[in-house]
Structure 1
């Protein structure tokens, strides 16, 4: 395909220069090479485009029509190449990002206005799933995943680590008392997950799996339940930090909680066309995450 465009450019150079010799001098190539390029075009088109003489170059009627369309085609190609170059410099187009609801709400949404101001031509589409998804099946460009990765076909960019802690509201603790030992949890309302049962293995004591008194499939729902004085939840710092700083939640059994840090990574398939958008998104948010 490239040689076909090269042959077109050779023909236009010959026509613009008024002959093969002048065109060869302008392009720092040989007249023989230009002649072969034009001959290939004529053979492919099964028509004569130019009549070659020692003194002048005569363009046939078919050549005139073809050259006019060739100029238009090359102009369109150059415009497309220039637009793509600019697009790579200035990210533009759709970018579909998936993350668990709590991560999206507490780490991405607060910075969306700033991101849009910085990259107004990037059209973000945000989706939420509480479990890992198939990026191709869900037409997703980037997914934020928490925990160890299993799919080695994906490119992964580390974003940080997450630590889980036990939290409850001051009002709940005033009503039911603050647990001082792990064994005290047996007398409390424990909030856990319905589907992500591995998250019901709390990082305390021997890493026991709790039996939730109340459960939800959503970490965000558990956060709201804890803030509403319902019980004790074990949630990631990136989810509870704001509530703890505002005094709506209090960390309990901190000394008995193991420091287990789960990796947080952005995963995606390598795609040259999306490279600029993905990098812009990840570079921007990597500096703003509070994990």
Structure 2
């Protein structure tokens, strides 16, 4: 089979939190589909990124049968050669109610020497994982786990395909559906653009945030086993620099505090500084500047993809409150 990726382009309005549908999708096999992780096992909660035991320590307390463990993305796929974290648990809970960790290893295929008996084996590959119950005897044997997992790479642009600076862009990955009466469970926060995240196959809810105010896009994306999904969302937003000036094109006045209100009058953001930079979603706003005992305001429309300086003139025409004259 030939390798490949799934590419999705999601065009969305920045002021609405709507599930997005792909505009463009191209899919090829990255590895053959199929397989599913072991299900129906009642396991304690443990982190996919818990540190392994000391590599110099023995993998088991008692010499017994040798077992070789391997994992793959799909039933017909090749064994994963690196990036795995293996954990072997005993089946009897300890005094704390948790299953004891017997041995662990990192890398690809792992070999353990375990005392005869039953164990639970968990393989983690990024945030993808699978668990399997195994039985160890005196004879050497092999076991394989199918992760049923794929990869996800996320990015975002402005209208017209303009790239967003990576430092101002982040993603969060949530479960697709919230539990009854609760919010969606957060799986991975603060994912950097163009980084590959490994996940079990299924649908996930993705939140893309440009800046730190209200430029937010939400979409649902499906991950297929053995495939890399590349998804790009489009933000309708712009980066603005606010300046209070005495005349058009003049120097910015220091010690100015700013309030940004939505078209309905709701507070959006407050910031302090002669040059106040922020990213806002496309729409209409009222900008209020306070300097010493005077307050000035200006109505302004943000156009997606049009970054610019916004000047508020410190004139009588724009002054709305004289604090010294107020009761």
TM-score of the superposed pair, with normalisation by structure 1: 0.22
RCO higher in structure (CA 8 A, sep ≥6): 1
Q: Which has the higher helix share?
A: 1
Larger Rg: 1
Q: Which has the higher strand share?
A: 2
TM-score of the superposed pair, with normalisation by structure 2: 0.21
